[in-house]
Structure 1
Amino acid sequence: MPRTTPTSIELTAEGLLLEVVTAGAAVRRLVVSDVEGDTNVVLGHRDPMTYAVDGGYLGATIGRFGNRLAGARFTLDGVEHRVAANEGRNALHGGLEGFDRRDWTVEEQGASHVRFGLHSPDGDQGFPGALDVSVTYTVAPGSVRIDYEATTDADTVVSLTNHSYFNLDGEGSGPVDAHRLMVSADTFTPVDAELIPTGELRDVTGTPFDLRRPTVVADAFSHHDEQLVHGQGIDHNLVVRGVGMRHVATLRGTSGRTLEVTSDQPGVQVYTGAHFDGTVIGTSGTAYGPRAGIALETQGFPDAPNHADFPSTRLRSGDRHASTTTWRLGRE
């Protein structure tokens, strides 16, 4: 776990400033300049040192395996691998010492981009293969692009994502209940009480996860659905329609600010931030309460190595994992 003071890097483009820190290769601020002035639209810790101790995933790069692994285990080529459990008996976001808790190296930096690198040795948190990973943030007018790459010297599993929470009305402005969310997904992966996928792909029709049209977040909560009980709201993987680089989600705040997410990943974890309880103090000095922000984590499916029918998250020795996510900020 990193203990040195994180280095802060600011990337700028017309109308936009992105602040990232070396601890967890995390996004701390995303400041949009528009007719209302400068507004930070992501949640971040007031004290940058918090990222070096326990950032609680805020804005962090997640790995080796984003989301959950049932029983903190998976089998690869007939060999069972046990990884570090950190959510009851299950593994969440890479285990006890996931990539969010590492001090990443700045490999390349310019005015509008930075590339972070990390070496994860064979057996790290129980995962096989030595893994070399990079994440590159690039800003342009109105947009942020995140590129992930990884290589391994032995077959392993990899699913990388970013865990930023968005509040388009401004960080610290209160819950996102009145935001409107649209997701390009016809199905989702239901979960059990431990938030582990059951293996089913369920039609979103008639469920809180039918977000194919812009839906007020609070209205999605109005459904009587066991899945909302499991997730204390929405904390679910939606299956993104299509393949390749495509639309994933559009979020709109009451301010009229919009966020469009595109990605080449098969799923997106929509998480409405039920766990915020006032103990996290944001960059504005505001204590974050429930639903202070919403996460839209582009990803491979949760627990994919344990479900043969899910898209594969296997990375073979000699191959290269590469994925891209973009955030486009605008205003209606």
Structure 2
Amino acid sequence: MSVTRRKFGKTKDGEPVTLYTITNKMGNSVSIMDYGATVQSINIVDADGEVIDCCLGYNTVAEYEEHTDFMGACIGRVGNRIGGSSFSLNGQTYTLAANEGENHLHGGLKGFDKQMFKAKIDSDDTVTFGRISPDGEEGYPGEFMFIVSYTFDDCDNFVMNYTGWNNSETLDTIASITNHTYFNLSGEDAGSILDHTLELYASSFTEVDEHLIPTGKLLDVENTPFDFRKGKTLGQDINADHPQLKLAGGYDHNFCIDGDGMRPCCTLMSPKTRLKMYVSTDMPGVQIYTGNFISESEGKAGTDYHHYDGIAIETQFYPDALNHPEFPSPVLKPRKEYRYTTVYQFSADE
């Protein structure tokens, strides 16, 4: 195991950006930069001995600053959408930055994805990134101190440990941190992921309106295109005549993961490389997003990205949870700790 670091350019404000690479004994590696605590590459050797970069991304900081696809980024203070860019907490209404029409998406105009983090190499397999989100940032109440630790071990487990603290003495805050890596297990330059098989352990999902904001209803996946419990390709039903798919142009929905505590969430597999990725988490939900709105831009290998070229598997609290008291609550009380974990394990089938 080893951790190396190298310069990765500068932000438009002149801040130097560093890329950290964790390499295990098999030669597989992950690279994360301190701009947005962003996963820039995941290199895994497949069963044929080929090195596959499994995540979409860019070669320069400027491209990450320019594009709004959130590629590989740590998302906070709250991931996903908040309807009307507002919520009420303890009798007070908080207005957030609106950055998707009238709604708030992925932490706002300058969420965690557009912030610099302080990085620390903790060990030969772990790098930790931290920042303090001040009271009022993007409209959120309370000072929130946050760290995310990325560990990549010799069993090809890519572990994301999210830890935060509400530093306020009196104010409640909310937190739902996720990661927005777009996975393509055939390679970041391989094109569509609609041939990938997804097995997802969720019996229900949150219905959304025309703005992709949850209505509050949980819909059963039984006999719908949203049933992945026995596994199927992402493309099998993506064009089905279902109103929820038409609203999103594909899958862009929160699934309610069966069970609780640390448990399996889903398995993704590429038929081309036979690489598999097993996801487990202790979060209540997961956003399955098939890259319906990926902007056409040049990726790391010089190939242009298009719609459906990557899938984001974003573990989370349900979207717009503060406006739906029946959903699991993302409220963090004063001086309380936030702690959740998601694991992405890679496997090369022979």
- TM-score for both structures, normalised by structure 1: 0.97
1:207 offset after TM fit, Å?
1.4
Change (3 A) 1:108 1:46: closer
Identity between Structure 1 and Structure 2 (%)? 37
> Which residue pairs with 1:272 in the alignment?
290
Instruction: Write the distance in 2 (CA, Å) between the matches of 1:90 and 1:320.
Output: 27
1:300 matches 2:312:
no
Residue 165 of structure 2 corresponds to: 151
**Cα distance per residue 1:197-220 (max 9 Å; x no partner):** 000011001111101011111112
- Report how many aligned residue pairs link the two structures: 331
- Counterparts of 1:51-200 in structure 2, within 5 Å, are 51-54=64-67, 56-141=69-154, 142-152=156-166, 153=168, 154-200=171-217
Matches of 1:202 and 1:242, distance apart in 2: 17
d(CA) in 1 for partners of 2:303 and 2:16? 22
Range with greater deviation from structure 2 (33-42 or 80-89):
33-42
Which residue does 1:14 correspond to in 2? 25
- Unpaired runs of 5+ in structure 1? none
Q: Is 1:215 aligned to residue 226 of structure 2?
A: no
Deviates more, 1:40-49 or 1:69-78: 40-49
Shift of 1:176: 0.4
Matched, 1:237 2:254: yes
Across the aligned residues of Structure 1 and Structure 2, the Cα RMSD in angstroms comes to: 1.3
Q: CA deviation at 1:53?
A: 4.7
Q: Distance in 1 between matches of 2:135 and 2:112?
A: 14
The Cα of 1:107 is off from its aligned counterpart by 3.4
Q: CA deviation at 1:55?
A: 5.5
Moved more, 233-242 or 138-147: 138-147
The residue number in structure 2 matching 1:26 is 38
Separation in structure 2 between the aligned mates of residue 10 and residue 330 of structure 1, nearest angstrom: 19
Shift of 1:54: 4.4
Where do 5+ consecutive residues of structure 2 fail to align?
1-10
Aligned to 1:323: 340
Cα distance in 1 between the residues matched to 2:138 and 2:200 = 33
2:53 corresponds to which of 40, 55, 66? 40
SS in 2 for 1:228: helix
1:277 shift after superposition: 3.9
Q: Deviations over 1:223-256 (max 9, x none)?
A: 2101011111000000000000000010000121
How far did 1:52 drift? 4.2
Q: Quote the Cα distance in structure 1 between the aligned partners of 2:12 and 2:120.
A: 17
In 1, are the aligned partners of 2:12 and 2:62 still within 8 Å (CA)?
Answer: no
Contact between 2:239 and 2:250, CA under 8 Å: does it hold in 1? no
Counterpart contact for 1:53–1:101, Cα < 8 Å: no
Q: What is the letter of the counterpart of residue 147 of structure 1?
A: N
Partner SS for 1:75: strand
Q: Which amino acid aligns with 1:99?
A: F
**SS at structure 2 position matched to 1:170:** coil
Counterparts of residues 282-293 of structure 1 (less than 5 Å): 282-293=299-310
Amino acid at match of 1:143: N
User: Which secondary structure state, in structure 2, belongs to the residue aligned with residue 220 of structure 1?
Assistant: coil
On the 8 A contact 1:54/1:101 being kept in 2, the answer is no
Distance 1:163 1:219 in 2: 24
